[in-house]
Structure 1
Amino acid sequence: MRVLVYGAGQLAQMMYLAGAPLGIEVEAVDVNTETLVHPVSKLPLEATLAQAIEAADALTVEFEHVPEHLLEQAEKSGKLMPSMEAILVGADRVREKALLDNLQVANCPHRIVTQLDELDRCLQELGDKLIIKASRDGYDGYGQWRLTEAAQLEDIKASLSGLNLQQVPLIVEQMLSFDRELSLIGVRSKSGEIKVYPLTENLHYQGQLHVSVAPAPGVTQAIWQQAQEIFTRLAQGMQYTGVLAVEMFQCGDTLLVNELAPRVHNSGHWTNSGSDTSQFENHLRAIVGLPLGDTQARTPAAMVNIIGCGAFSRDLLSIPGCHLHWYGKTVREKRKMGHINLTADNYQQLGNKMAQLAGYVPSEAFPMLPDEAEKLSKLTEKP
Structure 2
Amino acid sequence: MKVLIYGAGQLARMMYLAGSPLGIEVHAVDVGSEKIVNPVTKQISDISLSHAIDHADAISVEFEHVPEHLLEQAALSGKLYPGIEAILTGADRVREKRLLERLAIPNCAHQIVDEVSQLEGAVELLGDKLILKASRDGYDGYGQWRLNERSNLPALAQSLTDLDLKKVPLVVEKMQSFEREVSLVGMRSRSGEIRFYPLAENLHHQGQLHVSVAPAPQLNESLTDQAESIFRKLAEALDYVGVLAVEFFQVGDQLLVNEIAPRVHNSGHWTQQGADTCQFENHLRAVCGLPLGDTRPRGIAAMVNIIGFDAFGLDMLAIPGCHLHWYGKVVRPKRKMGHFNLSGTGYSELGEAMRQLGGYLPAAFFPHLESEALRLKGVS
Do both share a fold (TM > 0.5)?
yes
Q: 1:96-115 to 2 correspondence within 5 Å?
A: 96-115=96-115
| 1:55 to partner: Cα distance | 0.4
- In structure 1, the residue matched to 2:285 is 285
- In structure 1, the residue matched to 2:200 is 200
| Structure 1: runs of 5 or more not aligned | none
| 1:268 to partner: Cα distance | 0.2
Look up the SS of the partner of 1:233 in the other structure. Answer: helix
- In structure 2, the residue matched to 1:325 is 325
Kept in 2, the 8 Å contact 1:348–1:379? The answer is yes
CA distance in structure 2 between the aligned counterparts of 1:108 and 1:282, rounded to whole angstroms? 30
CA distance in structure 2 between the aligned counterparts of 1:358 and 1:134, rounded to whole angstroms? 35
Q: 1:119-138 to 2 correspondence within 5 Å?
A: 119-138=119-138
TM-score by length of 1: 0.99
- In structure 2, the residue matched to 1:220 is 220
Residue 145 of structure 1 pairs with residue 145 of structure 2: yes
- In structure 1, the residue matched to 2:296 is 296
- In structure 1, the residue matched to 2:272 is 272
Q: Deviations over 1:216-274 (max 9, x none)?
A: 00011111110110111110111100000000000000000000000000000000010
TM-score by length of 2: 1.00
- In structure 2, the residue matched to 1:360 is 360
- In structure 2, the residue matched to 1:76 is 76
Look up the SS of the partner of 1:60 in the other structure. Answer: strand
- In structure 2, the residue matched to 1:184 is 184
CA distance in structure 1 between the aligned counterparts of 2:264 and 2:186, rounded to whole angstroms? 9
2:279 aligned partner, one-letter code: Q
- In structure 1, the residue matched to 2:257 is 257
Give the RMSD, CA atoms, in angstroms.
Answer: 0.5
| 1:362 to partner: Cα distance | 1.6
Paired positions, count: 380
| 1:313 to partner: Cα distance | 2.3
- In structure 1, the residue matched to 2:168 is 168
1:217 aligned partner, one-letter code: P
- In structure 2, the residue matched to 1:371 is 371
| 1:150 to partner: Cα distance | 0.3
Kept in 2, the 8 Å contact 1:313–1:361? The answer is no
1:287 aligned partner, one-letter code: V
Kept in 2, the 8 Å contact 1:115–1:166? The answer is yes
Kept in 2, the 8 Å contact 1:355–1:373? The answer is yes
Q: Deviations over 1:329-372 (max 9, x none)?
A: 00000000000000001000100110000011121110111110
CA distance in structure 1 between the aligned counterparts of 2:227 and 2:68, rounded to whole angstroms? 31
1:95 aligned partner, one-letter code: R
| 1:103 to partner: Cα distance | 1.0
Look up the SS of the partner of 1:311 in the other structure. Answer: coil
- In structure 2, the residue matched to 1:14 is 14
CA distance in structure 1 between the aligned counterparts of 2:100 and 2:17, rounded to whole angstroms? 33
| 1:321 to partner: Cα distance | 0.5
- In structure 2, the residue matched to 1:37 is 37
1:2 aligned partner, one-letter code: K
CA distance in structure 2 between the aligned counterparts of 1:147 and 1:158, rounded to whole angstroms? 13
Q: 1:81-96 to 2 correspondence within 5 Å?
A: 81-96=81-96
1:317 aligned partner, one-letter code: L
2:13 aligned partner, one-letter code: Q
2:351 aligned partner, one-letter code: G
Look up the SS of the partner of 2:112 in the other structure. Answer: strand
| Structure 1 ranges of 4+ moved more than 4 A | none
CA distance in structure 2 between the aligned counterparts of 1:294 and 1:83, rounded to whole angstroms? 24
- In structure 1, the residue matched to 2:27 is 27
Look up the SS of the partner of 2:20 in the other structure. Answer: helix
- In structure 2, the residue matched to 1:236 is 236
Identical counterparts, % of pairs: 64
- In structure 2, the residue matched to 1:335 is 335
Kept in 2, the 8 Å contact 1:4–1:59? The answer is yes
Kept in 2, the 8 Å contact 1:312–1:362? The answer is no
2:23 aligned partner, one-letter code: G
Look up the SS of the partner of 1:285 in the other structure. Answer: helix
- In structure 2, the residue matched to 1:48 is 48
2:234 aligned partner, one-letter code: L
Look up the SS of the partner of 2:337 in the other structure. Answer: strand
Look up the SS of the partner of 1:151 in the other structure. Answer: helix
CA distance in structure 2 between the aligned counterparts of 1:156 and 1:271, rounded to whole angstroms? 41
Kept in 2, the 8 Å contact 1:273–1:341? The answer is yes
CA distance in structure 2 between the aligned counterparts of 1:110 and 1:312, rounded to whole angstroms? 43
CA distance in structure 2 between the aligned counterparts of 1:224 and 1:189, rounded to whole angstroms? 21
CA distance in structure 2 between the aligned counterparts of 1:374 and 1:159, rounded to whole angstroms? 41
Kept in 2, the 8 Å contact 1:64–1:87? The answer is yes
- In structure 2, the residue matched to 1:247 is 247
1:143 aligned partner, one-letter code: G
CA distance in structure 2 between the aligned counterparts of 1:209 and 1:186, rounded to whole angstroms? 19
Look up the SS of the partner of 1:305 in the other structure. Answer: strand
CA distance in structure 1 between the aligned counterparts of 2:33 and 2:209, rounded to whole angstroms? 29
- In structure 2, the residue matched to 1:211 is 211
CA distance in structure 1 between the aligned counterparts of 2:23 and 2:190, rounded to whole angstroms? 20
Look up the SS of the partner of 2:246 in the other structure. Answer: strand
| 1:142 to partner: Cα distance | 0.3
